[in-house]
Amino acid sequence: MIGIIDYGAGNLKSVKNALDFLGAKSKIISTPKEVESVEGIILPGVGSFGFIMENLRSKGLDLAIVGAISKGKPYFGICLGLQILFEKSEESAGVKGLGVFKGEVVKFTKGKVPQVGWNEVNPVQKGLLDNGFAYFVNSYYVVPKKEEIILGRTDNYVNFTSAVEKDNVFAVQFHPEKSGEYGLDILRRWVDVVEKNNSLS
Amino acid sequence: MLSKRIIPCLDVKDGKVVKGKNFLGLEYAGDPVELAKKYYLSGADEIVFLDITASIEKRETMLSVVREVSNTIFIPLTVGGGIRTVEDIRNLLNAGADKVALNTTAVTNPGLIKEASQIFGSQCIVVAIDAKRRGESWEVFIRSGKEGTGKDVLLWAKEVQALGAGEILLTSMDRDGTKRGYDLELTRLLSETLSIPIIASGGAGELTDISEVFVKGKADAAIIASILHYGKYQVSEIKGFMRKNNISVRVGK
């Protein structure tokens, strides 16, 4: 069972629809206990960095997520679900992120902001991604301290990190649930990771 | 870099796709779920549904179309037409729409743009503007193009951006359904003035019309309707033509 974390803002239905389409079992979850009970977690993000962190903290979900990650549970972050893995963001000064990765989140300074539309994802190492076009809606992007966690990069006036992967943590800046067959393929591969991980433990 | 988007638009009346000419004379063109799926598989980057069903009691029909479509296609889906309240927007988003397009209500109640973008995020609030040329400028029309507002299109576009609109769907009423090409001047004016994406609509007849609206009109996305619905071109052919002309479009489906 995959848990889609509901922190009180996002439109979670499209992620659920995509998982249903792939035949993967999933449910919407909103408590630390549920985070513990599912086999993999997806955090889709809509809203702002500060808004999400505040909501996660008020429900104790921040600690539950970090705990689940440290125990090896597969995590899939989408959009803000990628950004909050880092320490801080220009979007919400003074708000601490989950700090799973070192680095920060900064704003695009050139071109139309937010970038809305399809952009090319170029994998820089082997992982859950192929080269392809994905649907983005973002004003901010992550700047990881450690190069080795970067899985994919994308150009939008600046060459930015569009995907990261380290051990059981996988996260992308784009919306795989809205990225056509390319996005469905990524979700399918991650669902396989969850199933494999579950059968081993 | 960001690709230019090719967006099929389906005008839906009582659950069926229709396509008008100059905002009048509706003609039947097909089933919305079937057409949306066909365009998705042919490489469409998004789908727009404009609900032109006037009556409120038929609204449920649109919601069920949205539900069915969002279970079968996995690209952004925008729905417009007859949206009046935050509750209408919530219902559409809950049914599976990713964005909503506000047109008449945006003019009669601009506060809704601000309120909705604060609640749901600017990324899902599109303001649709129907523009009619008036000499050197353009006038905003509402109520499916039936009523002039006296508002200047450029000023109105700036205002909706300031209120929190995430994108503008700009329709040239003079070109809509004519297949004479997009209004390039109007499109470029808005695209170069605003910082949010401009989706150009109205007038696509030939492949060169579409490449021109990107190159000369500086549009971020182009709405395609009649030439798709009547099978003159497939989305894949349109994209092939764009690539041949060095316009960056998404490859794949």
CATH number at residue A78: 3.40.50.880
Amino acid at A67: G
pTM equals 0.93
Q: Are A141 and A108 in contact (CB under 8 A)?
A: yes
Residue A175 annotated among the catalytic residues of the structure: yes
Question: In total, how many domains does chain A have?
Answer: 1
CATH topology of domain B5-244: TIM Barrel (3.20.20)
Q: Which one of the listed residues A36, A120, A147, A175 is annotated catalytic?
A: A175
Chain A residues at the B interface, defined by Cβ less than 8 Å, are: 11, 13-14, 17-18, 20-21, 46-47, 111-120, 132-133, 135-137, 155-157, 177-184
Taking the C-alpha atoms of residue B231 and residue B246, their distance in angstroms, rounded to an integer, is 24
Q: Which one of the listed residues B51, B88, B130, B183 is annotated catalytic?
A: B130
Using CA coordinates, name the residue in chain B closest to A9.
B120
Q: Are B132 and B102 in contact (CB under 8 A)?
A: no
If DSSP states are collapsed to H, E and C, what string results for A60-126?
A: CHHHHHHHHHHCCCCEEEEEHHHHCCCCEECCCCCCCCCCCCCEEEEECCCCCCCEEEEEEEEECCC
What is the dihedral sign for C-alpha A182, A134, A80, A141?
positive
With both helix axes pointing from N to C terminus, report the angle between B32-41 and B59-70 in degrees, rounded to the nearest 10.
30
B157-162: long-range pairs with CB below 8 Å, 24+: B157/B129, B157/B190, B157/B193, B157/B194, B158/B193, B158/B194, B159/B110, B160/B106, B160/B110, B160/B113, B160/B127, B160/B129, B161/B194, B161/B195, B161/B196
Among A28, A52, A116, A179, the residue to mutate for chain B (most B Cβ within 10 A): A116
pLDDT one-digit tens code per residue, A111-148: 888 899 999 999 999 999 999 999 999 999 999 999 99
Residues 6 or more apart from B201 whose CB is under 8 A from it? B9, B169, B170, B171, B172, B176, B182, B222, B223, B225
For chain B, 253 residues long, give each residue's pLDDT as a single digit of tens: 899 999 999 989 888 888 655 455 566 668 899 999 999 999 999 999 999 876 666 778 899 999 999 999 999 999 999 899 999 999 999 899 999 999 999 999 999 999 999 888 888 999 999 999 999 999 999 998 899 999 999 999 999 999 999 999 999 999 988 889 999 999 999 999 999 999 999 999 999 999 999 999 999 999 998 888 878 899 999 999 999 999 999 988 7
**ipTM score assigned to the predicted complex:** 0.91
Give residue A195's domain range.
2-200
A117 φ/ψ angles, rounded to the nearest 5 degrees: 140, -165
A169-172 and A150-156: which strand pairing? unpaired
Indicate yes or no: CB of A135 within 8 angstroms of CB of B75: yes
Taking the C-alpha atoms of residue A75 and residue A3, their distance in angstroms, rounded to an integer, is 10
